[in-house]
């Protein structure tokens, strides 16, 4: 087995995976470890690949971030923590539905009992679906779980000491050591154990491409439009247009997942699943097609739209600070992009 090919299996997007094959110089020991450890996939699948990376590459003492030996060790420790339980340990299972607050909450005396509950819920839902409703099975993609481990502490209080994030099948994707003390050089390793939504990978996209942005089950799937690329390997270098919660249009850094609405946080980068969308655009998505065609005809237009929206955002931020200082600020006045008709008129888009 080759460690690069095994690493690329964690990239679900065909577009991204094929592009990265041509950028093999970027897939260093530590970059491969980052891709694997931060992927939306089970920890059990990550460990052997992390160990393979460590076996087939040489450690660079100057690069301590995402060291595969340490990541594999921490992942195994996270699995062991499921069963290293003092008397009185309680596991709190929390169900989350995409884009919503905490959905359901249950308590168990063992980790396995909590996971069995997840699997029972999945089975009940699958059994309830008729053949005509089979498309509704995708609802499971919108559900995730967290399991918190609580142990008896001082003065009769319970203390949270560990937590895991799981998908709707009960697979552990990420974990958090809670209050465990780390050495300063360990923080980078710790950070990726609970996921990392920023990924410095090169992308295959061009200005005018409409891209599927899929961060399920943490945020709803949506379409974004690539408008400008300053440097495809820079974290802020790929800019996109997106619809805000109020259905206005704003610009964002694709690799920072900042196209997601405030409050919608993802533990993994959009790049794992990002792919060019070539389907039909309907309803509120139609403006993306109009802007896409205009940018493909005039690539400079994407930069001009981006600059215009950034200037508006900076101006609005300044006004917000002044309003806060003067006690005039209202939450509903926060900048949230511009209306499509405004953008269309400003740049002569469409009829």
Give pLDDT tens digits for 285-328. 999 999 999 999 999 999 999 999 998 888 766 666 654 554 56
Q: What is the DSSP letter of 261?
A: P
Which residues have C-beta within 8 Å of that of residue 214, sequence separation ≥ 6? Answer: 221, 270, 273, 274
The share of the chain scoring above pLDDT 70, in percent, equals 85
Residue 129: which pLDDT band, with cuts at 50, 70 and 90? Answer: confident
The neighbour count for residue 305, using CB atoms within 10 Å, is: 24
**What average pLDDT does range 334-347 have in this prediction?**
88
Residues 70-128 have pLDDT tens digits of 899 989 999 999 999 999 999 999 999 887 666 778 999 999 999 999 999 888 888 88
- The pLDDT, as a whole number, for residue 134 is 61
Give 214 or 196, the one with higher predicted confidence.
214
Give the Cα separation of 16 and 213 in Å (integer). Answer: 12
- Within the chain, strands assigned E span 90-97, 102-108, 143-152, 158-167, 172-176, 210-213, 222-229, 238-243, 249-253, 275-276
Q: Is the pLDDT of residue 185 over 60?
A: no
Q: Is 211 left (phi over 0), alpha (psi -120 to 50) or beta?
A: beta
Quote the strand ranges of 170-209, DSSP E: 172-176
What gap in Å lies between CA 41 and CA 119, rounded to an integer? 17
Q: What angle do CA 294, 13, 20 make, to 5 degrees?
A: 90
Q: What are phi and psi of 277, to 5 degrees?
A: -95, 125
The percent of residues in the chain predicted with pLDDT above 90, rounded, is: 60
Residue pair 98/214 in contact by the 8 Å Cβ criterion: no
Q: Which two tokens stand for residue 140?
A: 């499971």
- Confidence tier at 156 by pLDDT (50, 70, 90): confident
pTM beyond 0.85, yes or no: yes
State the average pLDDT over residues 224-245.
88
What local confidence, expressed as pLDDT, does residue 193 receive? 60
Q: What is the mean pLDDT of the chain?
A: 86
Residue 133: pLDDT band with limits 50, 70, 90:
low
Q: Is pLDDT of 183 > 60? A: no
């Amino acid at each position: 087995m080759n460690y690069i090919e095994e690493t690329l299996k964690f990239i679900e997007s065909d577009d991204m995976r094929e592009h990265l094959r041509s950028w093999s110089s970027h897939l260093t020991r530590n970059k491969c470890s980052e891709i694997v450890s931060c992927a939306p996939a089970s920890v059990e699948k990550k460990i052997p690949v992390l160990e393979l990376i460590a076996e087939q590459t040489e450690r660079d003492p100057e690069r301590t971030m995402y060291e595969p030996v340490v990541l594999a060790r921490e992942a195994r420790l996270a699995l062991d923590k499921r069963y290293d339980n003092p008397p009185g340990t309680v596991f709190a299972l929390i169900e989350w539905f995409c884009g919503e607050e905490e959905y359901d909450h249950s308590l168990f005396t063992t980790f396995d009992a909590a996971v069995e509950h997840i699997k029972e819920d999945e089975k009940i839902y699958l059994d309830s679906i008729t053949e005509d409703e089979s498309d509704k099975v995708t609802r499971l993609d919108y559900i995730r779980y967290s399991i918190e481990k609580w142990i008896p502490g001082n003065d009769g209080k319970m203390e949270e000491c560990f937590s895991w994030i799981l998908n709707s099948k009960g697979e552990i994707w990420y974990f958090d050591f809670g209050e465990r003390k780390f050495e300063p050089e360990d923080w980078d390793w710790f950070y990726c154990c609970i996921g990392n939504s920023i990924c410095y990978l090169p992308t295959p996209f061009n200005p005018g491409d409409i891209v599927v942005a899929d961060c399920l089950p943490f945020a709803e799937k949506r379409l974004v439009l690539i408008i400008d690329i300053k440097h495809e390997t820079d974290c802020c270098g790929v800019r996109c247009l997106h619809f805000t919660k109020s259905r206005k249009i704003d610009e964002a850094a694709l690799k920072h997942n900042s196209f997601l609405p405030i409050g919608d946080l993802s533990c993994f980068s959009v790049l794992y699943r990002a792919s060019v969308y070539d389907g039909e655009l309907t309803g509120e998505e139609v403006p993306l097609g109009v802007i896409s065609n205009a940018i493909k005809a005039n690539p400079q237009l994407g930069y001009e739209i981006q600059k215009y929206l950034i200037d508006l955002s900076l101006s609005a931020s300044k006004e917000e600070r002044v309003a806060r200082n003067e006690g005039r600020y209202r939450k509903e006045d926060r900048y949230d992009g511009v209306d499509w008709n405004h953008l269309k008129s400003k740049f002569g888009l469409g009829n």
